[in-house]
């Protein structure tokens, strides 16, 4: 009799392991994007010495040591990243909780009963040893209650019973994969949270680099405005003096003042913008950034490596963290369908315990005190008002939504990478054109001023040439910033490495 319980446990375990899985077979959705990223036309020609940005860590990608230090500070202190890390820990804990249902929760219990009621004592010992298969030395019966009769026969009015048991309660035999699918769904959500953390990390690195370059660009714009202000101020001084002696008109003096005041306004705006840029960078980093780590001009702010791959397969986008996150969430919804389907089938649970019982504490582990119990239970849903059907429909709809989310995530990734590559293909030409334009505008401004002083051109022509030169140089700074920001965007859009 004592071998029945281990055999029962072995049979239950084998039955659970042999259970079926009602979840649909997962097949990765086919993304509605071309097989390769765009090539030709505005897109750059592939470089033979290009490095795969997805395998380049950010320390190798960003070459300016000041920027590297700022990024590292951000990775150490940013609160959004800390929140993402906490979310990963939450998901991992939830998975461990769900996974625990795959094994029985075993507990040890001990109890003592003191009574002067023989009927109550018989009920207590009968509950603990109702299926006892051993005989006691005091002549216990098949039910294990003969001891009670013996105790009463002695004339004692106080009865004592002690028991110790080890067992589990209501352990579900996972014949149809409900618990396994719920565990798999929790595991995939955990994986999704890890990918979300990676995505947050990449985005944070890109945002810090972009904010750092923005400061550099605005510093360049401020230096340009201050230089232009000096030119406009000198022009205003000369025209004002000429107006006073009657050589120039008041109109010319006021026109010169217009340019001067516009440059003053630009300086004030840029000073405010730079302060706001620094505040934004401090927020991203999670602490004030030392002035020594800030760029003083865009010209000395080389953000990242210059040579990047361009002839990439679109499958590289499938390794982006946000795409992997969407896929893990899709797999989780797939598993939820299996759990919802299993709810239509019988649920089999088992409560079992082994232990010992005695009328004396010293005899609790003596011979003849062994007891065991096993209580299998089956529950078959007959009528639930449509609850199980509703849960299954909801799981299927959630899976369809996850498929759409995954496909859209892939499409967005393709568009972001294609946009970044398209700008990469023309940005050098833009820089060249803007540089030539700014140079030509500077020469035109000098010639116009000389012609005005020689009496050949009007003062309005000279002022217009100065404004054109100022605007061309401002646009050149903006284009240079766009070039640096494009490198950062390529790092993010292609799912750059994190090491």
Query: Using one digit for the tens of pLDDT, what is the confidence trace for 201-228?
Result: 999 999 999 999 999 999 999 999 999 9
Q: Which strands sit side by side in the sheet containing 370-379, from one edge to the other?
A: 106-115, 159-173, 347-358, 370-379
As a whole number, mean pLDDT of residues 185-197 equals: 96
pLDDT in tens, 324-342: 999 999 999 999 999 999 9
Query: What is the DSSP secondary structure assignment for residue 25, as one 8-state letter?
Result: P
* Residue 317 confidence (pLDDT): 86
- The interaxial angle of helices 79-99 and 178-244, nearest 10 deg, is 170
pLDDT category, 180, cuts 50, 70, 90? very high
463-481 burial code (b ≥16 CB/10 A, e <16):
bbbbbbbbebbbbbbebbb
Please give the biggest Cα pair distance in the chain. Answer: 139
pLDDT at 54 over 80: no
Q: Is the pLDDT of residue 3 over 70?
A: no
> Which pLDDT score, from 0 to 100, does residue 50 have?
56
Using alpha carbons, select from 263, 250, 115, 102 the residue that is nearest to residue 183: 102
CB 269 within 8 A of CB 224: no
Percent over 70 (pLDDT), the chain:
83
Mean pLDDT of 444-472: 89
Q: Which domains does the chain have, with CATH numbers?
A: 21-100+179-341+387-493 (1.20.1600.10), 104-175+345-379 (2.20.200.10)
CA-based nearest residue to 64, from 296, 303, 267: 303
What is the rounded CA–CA span in Å between residue 98 and residue 316? 33
For 99-137, what is each residue's pLDDT tens digit? 998 888 889 988 888 887 665 555 555 444 444 443 333
CA distance 212 to 206: 10
Average pLDDT of span 241-246? 84
CA-to-CA separations, 390 to 71, 330, 331, 402, in angstroms, rounded = 48, 20, 20, 18
Say what the pLDDT of residue 300 is: 58
Q: Across 86-95, 251-260, 291-300, which has the greatest mean pLDDT?
A: 86-95
Question: What angle is formed at CA 293 by the lines to CA 292 and CA 295, rounded to 5 degrees?
Answer: 95
What does the alpha-carbon distance between residue 395 and residue 246 come to, in Å, rounded to a whole number?
87
Average pLDDT, the chain: 83
């Amino acid at each position: 009799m004592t071998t029945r319980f281990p055999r029962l446990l072995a049979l239950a375990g084998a039955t659970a392991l042999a259970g079926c899985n009602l979840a649909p077979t997962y097949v990765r959705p086919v993304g509605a994007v071309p097989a390769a990223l765009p090539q030709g036309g505005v897109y750059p020609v592939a470089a033979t010495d290009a490095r795969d940005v997805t395998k380049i860590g950010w320390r190798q990608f960003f070459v300016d040591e000041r920027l590297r230090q700022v990024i590292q500070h951000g990775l150490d202190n940013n609160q959004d990243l800390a929140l993402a890390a906490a979310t990963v820990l939450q998901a991992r804990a939830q998975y461990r909780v769900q996974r625990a249902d795959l094994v029985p929760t075993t507990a040890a219990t001990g109890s003592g009963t003191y009574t002067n009621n023989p009927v109550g004592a018989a009920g207590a010992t009968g509950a603990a040893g109702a299926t006892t298969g051993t005989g006691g030395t005091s002549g216990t019966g098949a039910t294990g209650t003969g001891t009670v009769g013996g105790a009463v026969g002695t004339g004692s009015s106080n009865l004592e019973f002690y028991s110790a048991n080890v067992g589990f309660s209501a352990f579900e035999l996972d014949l149809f994969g409900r618990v396994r699918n719920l565990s798999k769904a929790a595991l995939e959500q955990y994986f999704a949270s890890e990918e979300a953390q990676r995505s947050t990390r990449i985005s944070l690195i890109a945002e810090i680099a972009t904010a750092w370059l923005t400061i550099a660009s605005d510093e360049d714009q401020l230096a340009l405005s201050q230089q232009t202000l000096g030119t406009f101020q000198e022009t205003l001084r000369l025209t004002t003096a000429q107006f006073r002696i009657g050589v120039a008109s008041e109109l010319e003096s006021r026109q010169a003042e217009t340019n001067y005041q516009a440059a003053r306004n630009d300086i004030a705006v840029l000073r405010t913008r730079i302060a706001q840029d620094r505040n934004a960078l401090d927020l991203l980093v999670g602490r004030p950034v030392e002035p020594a780590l800030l760029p003083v001009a865009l010209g000395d702010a080389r953000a990242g490596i210059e040579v990047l791959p361009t002839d990439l397969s679109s499958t590289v986008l499938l390794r982006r963290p946000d795409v992997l996150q969407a896929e893990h969430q899709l797999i989780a919804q797939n598993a939820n369908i299996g759990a919802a389907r299993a709810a239509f089938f019988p649920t089999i649970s088992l409560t079992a315990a082994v232990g010992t019982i005695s009328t004396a504490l010293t005899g609790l582990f003596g011979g003849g005190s062994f007891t065991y119990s096993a209580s299998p239970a089956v529950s078959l849903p007959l009528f639930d008002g449509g609850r199980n059907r509703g849960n299954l429909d909801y799981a299927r709809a959630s899976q369809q939504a996850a498929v759409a989310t995954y496909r859209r995530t892939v499409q967005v990734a393709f568009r972001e990478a294609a946009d970044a590559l398209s700008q990469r293909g023309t940005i050098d030409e833009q820089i060249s054109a803007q540089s030539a334009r700014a140079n030509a505008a500077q020469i035109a401004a000098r010639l116009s001023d000389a012609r005005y002083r020689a009496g050949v051109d009007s003062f309005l022509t000279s002022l217009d040439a100065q404004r054109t030169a100022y605007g061309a140089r401002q646009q050149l700074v903006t284009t240079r910033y766009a070039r640096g920001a494009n490198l950062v965007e390529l790092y993010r859009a292609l799912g750059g490495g994190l090491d």
